[in-house]
Amino acid sequence: MSTVENVGTLPRLGRLGWAFLPVAVAAAVLALLPPIWFGDSPFTTSLAVQALVFASYGVGFNLIFGSTNQLFLCVGALAGVGGYGAGILANETSLPMLAGVVVGTLSAALVGGLLSWIAVRRSLGIIFTGIVTLVFSLGFANLLLGQRDLTGSETGLIVEGVPDRLGDDTVGGYYLFAGLLVAFLIIFRVLQLSHIGWAFRALRDDEVAAELAGVDVARYRIYAATVGSAMIGLTGALLAYSAGFISPATYSFDRVDVRVLVMVAFGGLGTLLGPLIGAGVFAIVDEQLTASLELREVLYGVFVIAIFLFFRRGVVQAIVSLYERVFGAGEPPKPPALQASRE
Amino acid sequence: MAAGYLGESVIDDVDVEVRSGEAVVIVGSNGAGKSTLFRAIAGLIQPMAGRVVLDGKDLTRRPAYRIARSGISYVPAERHLFPAMTLKSNLHLGAYPRRADPATLELVYDLFPRLRERQRQQAGTLSGGEQQMLAVGRALMARPRLLMLDEPTTGLSPKIAQVAFEALEGLKNEGTTLLIAEQQVPLALSVADRGYVLENGRIRLSGTAKELEGNPEVQRAYLGVA
Amino acid sequence: MRAVILDGLVLGLAFGLLGVGMTLVYGLAGVINLAYGQIVVFAAIVISLLMEDGMSTLLAAVLGVLAAAGLSALLDLTLMRPVYREHGEERTLLGLLLTLGAAFVIAGVLTWRYPDGALYIFVDGDPISVIGVPMAVGSLWASAMALVAAVVLLLFFGATTFGRGVRSVIQDEIGARLVGINPSFVRTVIFAVSGALAGVVAIAQSMSGPLTVNAGFELTTFALIVAVVGGLGSVAGAFLAGVLLGVVNALSAHYIGQYITTIILLSAAALTILIRPRGLLGR
């Protein structure tokens, strides 16, 4: 009778279920990785943790730049606000880890929101926003270096009060960050599917049109920046506890921002799993090239150029498009744009 | 030729011929495609079909700066002067890449005495009429084989427009070949030897100036005759 | 105090040239060249290698400047082609990203092959007294070079036909094309000129202290700050801003501290963008 129809068909997931399938798949993959691949090697585990950290940074960055076109070149600095906020609190007071994490996260959210508010108030375009946030990044690094007593300057800060099980080269630490990343992905997905996500897409497509359609561009930008910065700050704070030791280099522009930018662009700006894919690929590349830091730098440069020249929407998207064109009914190429003369 | 933007052609099947020493006028209302035609000839956009030939030389796919150096000077409706440079510098640059020939400069000043007065003024601060004169003067500094003018009377008072066309007549009499796009038809036909009527991207009519003046369609559409 | 200010002026002249190189390319091509500092370092390495081989300082310096100009032009002819197909903000953003990539490639290659690379031009001689302050001969040479470069630039833009052509492209590119100027060629030349300026900066800076292979990013940052404060696109503005910031840098470093000094300079750029985006002399 009624059971006959149900035999042999997939369980009905409903629209919501399908929407979160990618997140569920990612979570499953992440959960299974340690036992399959690297459970025993602290070195590989720490690489994996690093990849997760960067993927988490990436989701936050995706929310800020990928979704609302705000070029925040201060991901490292925001993470640093979270990390040093938590670290200094842990060392100067006897508050528990949770307090440090909360303070770090809120501070980063505040800073990020403030930067966005300033950019909105002064109508800064993408370039100037980039420069201002870059200036903030470098300024923050100098601040850390200058405040020797508080931050330990280049020698770094040891963060006390950390459970060993959550160290950044342990499986415990891995699952901590994996859980964090999945949580971020869920939040990102929820936003993507909500009216907020619609507003984001509208304002990215055509800011003026979105404004005219009633989208309060300014407000959405600040929201996105605040939430994204909170994510980044939270990750930075947890990293401080997990690693037990941080220095300005941990959160510097070269180490963090460039990597995050390339990674997310590689995986696909604005997409859900882009940061994860990008982080994964770069982790593998890093593992292969542990020998030469300089060669890695050269490779990054080549990647940056290649991505922004050929794979503007991310390598993943390029592969998907290729697949569609070969196997599916691809759309015919758009008519040639204005035939400007060759000068 | 056919030409347009973003894959859509604005003009199609347009064939224009200008003989040495004559003045040809392209007449048509806004949106008829006059500017598009001129831009395609000048090399600012590439035609979708057809060719541009000057004295037997095919100039079709050349970039704008090459066409300018080959002897076609184009004065667009927007003029595109160099606002922060002096009037004199603007004129000097007209002769690029050669150095400005003092004799030619004198010729331009004789043609437009107002320019001589305001030599050292910044081009951006000139009045509309003066800017138009400067634009034409700059185009002349290159001693072009063909001078193309797109709506030279834009923004000019009727009196100044009259003066402008008198100057153009003077140019023609000195042997400069002219191709002019104009909405003010009677003024244009007074100077022209021949003309074309462009409508919705196609040539509607063509003929000598006299023929066009006498044509009842042209009269009705453009000369305001009931 | 006078000594500090004079030191600041010497530094400021170098800053000025850095800023001019950066702003020239922005004003003309609409591109923020984040690889600029690396081009300075490149020039320094080339010169130091040539000098090690026994070449005279003068010849090495000239070749270094030419090499930097060449690298810069190469950058324009290759990487910038797709950038010029875009316009406005898109172009600036793409140019910024591609030059960032180029910066990493150049920095990586240089630090990989010459990890200890540095240029230090030691100029012999007793300190010369300038308004009562003893100045190192090297500093005076550096300042003289910078001033000569500035004057040459001024003459180039003001008096030559090509120079005027460059200005015209900045003011109205379509107008420039209509008078027969090839904006593409002009852009390549300007990139080369900015490269040559980078070479001059390398020489000038290396006279006061060793210019190491790692200095690239820092130099780019300074160039950007100076260009922004002066007004992106304004050559005179960049020069003025450079001198002012050089003096500020010297005063602050002397009386306050190193890290704060960098923060002050960075803040100058941020404040300019927030309060007066067109900078000191920009349009």
Contact A340 B48 (CB under 8 A): no
For residue C268, give the chain A residue with the closest CA: A135
The number of C-beta contacts closer than 8 angstroms across B and C is: 72
Q: Is residue A339 in some structural domain? A: no
In the numeric block, which tokens belong to residue C126?
């007793």
Which of A108, A60, A111 shows the shortest CA–CA distance to A224?
Answer: A60
Cβ <8 Å between A297 and C107: yes
Q: What is the largest CA-CA distance in chain A?
A: 77
Q: A: neighbours with 3+ CB pairs under 8 Å?
A: B, C
The answer to whether residue A275 sits within a structural domain is no
Query: Which residues on chain A are in Cβ contact (under 8 Å) with C89?
Result: 125-127
User: What value does the mean pLDDT of chain C take?
Assistant: 89
Residues C230-280 have pLDDT tens digits of 998 888 899 999 999 999 999 998 888 888 899 999 999 999 999 988 888
Residues C183-210 pLDDT 10s: 999 999 999 999 999 999 999 998 888 8
Q: Quick check: A136 and C182 CB within 8 A?
A: no
A269, part of any domain: no
In a domain, A314, yes or no: no
How close is the nearest chain B Cα to the Cα of C222, in Å? 29
CB contact under 8 A, B63 and A339: no
Looking at the predicted structure, is the pLDDT value of residue B61 above 70?
A: yes
Which chains would you list as touching B if contact means 3+ CB atom pairs under 8 Å?
Answer: A, C
Q: Is the entire prediction scored with pTM above 0.90? A: no
pLDDT of residue A10: 47
Split at pLDDT 50, 70, 90, the class of A339 is: very low
Looking at residue A16, what is its pLDDT? 66
For B50-151, list the strands marked E by DSSP: 53-54, 57-58, 72-75, 146-150
Longest distance between any two alpha carbons in chain B, whole Å: 52
Integer Cα distance of C81 and C74 in angstroms = 11
Question: Which residues lie closer than 8 Å to C178 by C-beta, 6 or more apart?
Answer: B42, B64, B68, B73, B74, B76, B80, B139
Chain B, residues 31-90, CB within 8 A of chain A, namely 43-46, 48, 61-65
**What DSSP line would sit under A4-69, residue for residue?**
HHHTTSPPP-HHHHHHTHHHHHHHHHHHHHIIIIITT-HHHHHHHHHHHHHHHHHHHHIIIIIHH-
A2 assigned to some structural domain = no
Number of domains in chain A: 1
Q: What confidence score (pLDDT) does residue C45 get?
A: 92
Is C178 in contact with B76 (Cβ distance < 8 A)?
yes
Higher pLDDT, A155 or C258: C258
Structure tokens given for A43: 């070195």
Contact indicator for B113, B168 with CB cutoff of 8 Å? no
Is there a domain that residue B113 lies in?
Answer: yes
Interface of C with B (CB under 8 A): 161, 164-165, 167-168, 171-172, 174-183
Does the distance separating the beta carbons of B138 and C179 come in below 8 Å? yes
* Confidence at residue A4, expressed as pLDDT on a 0 to 100 scale: 44
Does any domain span residue A271? no
- Whether A2 has a pLDDT exceeding 70, the answer reads no
Q: Which residue of C has its CA nearest to B80?
A: C175
pLDDT at B4: 67
Cross-chain CB nearest to C174 (options B44, B66, B97): B44
Nearest-CA neighbor of A194 among A164, A235, A224? A224
What is the structure's pLDDT at A171? 75
A6 within domain boundaries? no
B103 lies in which domain range? 72-143
Domains in chain C and their CATH numbers? 2-275 (1.10.3470.10)
Please tell me which residue of chain A has the smallest CA distance to B5.
Answer: A338
Q: Which residues 318-337 of A are in CB contact (within 8 Å) with B?
A: 335-337
Note whether residue B58 is domain-resident.
no
Look at residue C222 in the predicted model and tell me its pLDDT. 94
**What pLDDT digit, counting tens, does each position of A88-125 carry?**
888 777 777 788 889 999 999 999 999 999 999 988 88
Residues 6+ apart with CB under 8 A from C177: A343, B43, B44, B63, B64, B65, B68, C183
- A324-333, B135-144, C32-41 — most confident range: C32-41
- Contact call for C168 and B81, based on CB within 8 A: no
Nearest to B142 among C161, C180, C182 (CB): C180
Structural domain total, chain B = 1
Residues 133-172 of B with CB under 8 A from A: none
Enclosing domain of residue A227: 15-252
pLDDT of residue C44: 92
* pLDDT, chain A, mean: 81
